């Protein structure tokens, strides 16, 4: 029996276990194709994040899926520079970035707007402490819960966001509610 005959027999089989294997292989194939496409298009194997908090309301909601382009493939436009050039994304000036707080691996990344860039020893905000190194000052868009910059609170206290901490820049549009598919099981398992 030739290989093509075996493939045809496998595809046409009505055996339950063969069907399970066939379904598994189909899903695996789709995942691999999506991962390769994601790497080519966005520079990341997994270019989507589910938003877990309301810190970016009203522009990004809890449960939204956001597509992220690798930091190696793009430049960051801060709120300050976006306002000068009229560049906006996700309902306000400048780019929304995804970064690892303090550069730590294994912690939930933060998705906030890059407000402006500071050089080492510049004040991080008017009357604020000097930046220990160059980096981005960030803040969520929610005017009720995010009154201060991330660097004024526990998210990144007195630490500008270094470029190497940045995973990527949010792109395109948000996909509402789809992120709950990922968030609900994580919340249930963490209880």
* pLDDT tens digits, one per residue of 48-68: 788 999 999 999 999 999 999
Q: Please check the confidence at residue 169 and state whether its pLDDT lies above 70.
A: yes
> Same domain, yes or no, for 108 and 142?
yes
Lowest mean pLDDT among 21-25, 31-35, 126-130: 31-35
Q: Please check the confidence at residue 170 and state whether its pLDDT lies above 70.
A: yes
88: how many CB neighbours lie within 10 A of its CB? 15
Count up the domains in the chain and report the number.
2
The residue range of the domain holding 12 is: 3-42
* Domain-located, residue 189: no
> Same domain, yes or no, for 31 and 56?
no
* Domain-located, residue 69: yes
Selection from 159, 156, 174 nearest residue 109 by Cα: 156
What whole-number distance in Å separates Cα of residue 129 and Cα of residue 126? 9
Q: What are phi and psi of 154, to 5 degrees?
A: -80, -15
* Domain-located, residue 62: yes
Domain end position, chosen among 11, 27, 42: 42
- As a whole-number percent, the residues of the chain with pLDDT over 90 amount to 57
Q: Which two tokens stand for residue 148?
A: 């201060």
What whole-number distance in Å separates Cα of residue 179 and Cα of residue 133? 35
> Same domain, yes or no, for 137 and 106?
yes
Q: Please check the confidence at residue 178 and state whether its pLDDT lies above 80.
A: no
- pTM (predicted TM-score): 0.78
> Same domain, yes or no, for 54 and 130?
yes
> Same domain, yes or no, for 18 and 76?
no
**Cis omega before residue 58 (within 30°)?**
yes
> Same domain, yes or no, for 88 and 156?
yes
DSSP state of 177: S
* Domain-located, residue 32: yes
> Same domain, yes or no, for 13 and 71?
no
Q: What are phi and psi of 121, to 5 degrees?
A: 75, 0
How far is the CA of 14 from the CAs of 9, 18, 21, 112, 154, in angstroms?
10, 7, 12, 51, 58
> Same domain, yes or no, for 92 and 9?
no
Mean pLDDT of the chain: 88
Q: What are phi and psi of 163, to 5 degrees?
A: -55, -35
> Same domain, yes or no, for 71 and 127?
yes
Following DSSP, what letter does each residue of 138-174 receive, concatenated?
EE-S-TTT--S-GGGSSSSTT--B-GGGEEEEEEEEE
Give the CATH number of the domain where residue 52 resides.
Answer: 2.10.109.10
Nearest-10 Cα torsion for 14, 17, 18, 19: 70
> What per-residue confidence (pLDDT) applies to 187?
63
* Domain-located, residue 167: yes
Q: How many CA atoms lie within 13 A of 156 on its CB side?
A: 32
> Same domain, yes or no, for 13 and 103?
no
What whole-number distance in Å separates Cα of residue 59 and Cα of residue 78? 16
* Domain-located, residue 165: yes
> Same domain, yes or no, for 29 and 83?
no
> Same domain, yes or no, for 89 and 159?
yes
> What per-residue confidence (pLDDT) applies to 189?
54
What whole-number distance in Å separates Cα of residue 66 and Cα of residue 110? 12
Question: What is the tens place of the pLDDT at every residue in 66-113?
Answer: 999 888 888 999 999 999 999 999 999 999 999 999 999 989 999 999
**Residue 113 pairs with which residues in a beta bridge?**
96, 139
């Amino acid at each position: 029996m030739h290989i093509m005959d075996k493939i045809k027999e496998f595809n046409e089989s009505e055996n339950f276990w063969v069907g399970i294997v066939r379904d598994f292989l189909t899903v695996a194939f789709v995942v691999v194709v999506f991962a390769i496409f994601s790497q080519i298009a966005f520079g990341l194997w997994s270019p989507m994040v589910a938003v877990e908090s309301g810190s970016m309301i009203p522009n990004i909601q809890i449960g939204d899926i956001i597509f992220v382009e690798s930091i190696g493939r793009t430049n960051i436009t801060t709120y300050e520079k976006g306002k000068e050039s009229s560049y906006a994304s996700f309902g306000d000036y400048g780019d929304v970035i995804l970064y690892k707080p303090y550069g730590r691996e294994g912690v939930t990344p933060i998705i906030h707007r890059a407000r402006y860039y500071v050089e080492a020893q510049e004040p991080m905000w008017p009357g604020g402490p000097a930046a220990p190194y160059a980096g981005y000052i960030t803040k969520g868009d929610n005017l009720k819960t995010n009154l201060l910059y991330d660097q004024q609170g526990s998210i990144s206290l007195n630490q500008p966001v270094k470029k190497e901490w940045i995973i990527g820049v949010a792109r395109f549009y948000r996909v509402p509610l789809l992120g709950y598919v990922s968030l609900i099981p994580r919340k249930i398992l963490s209880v």
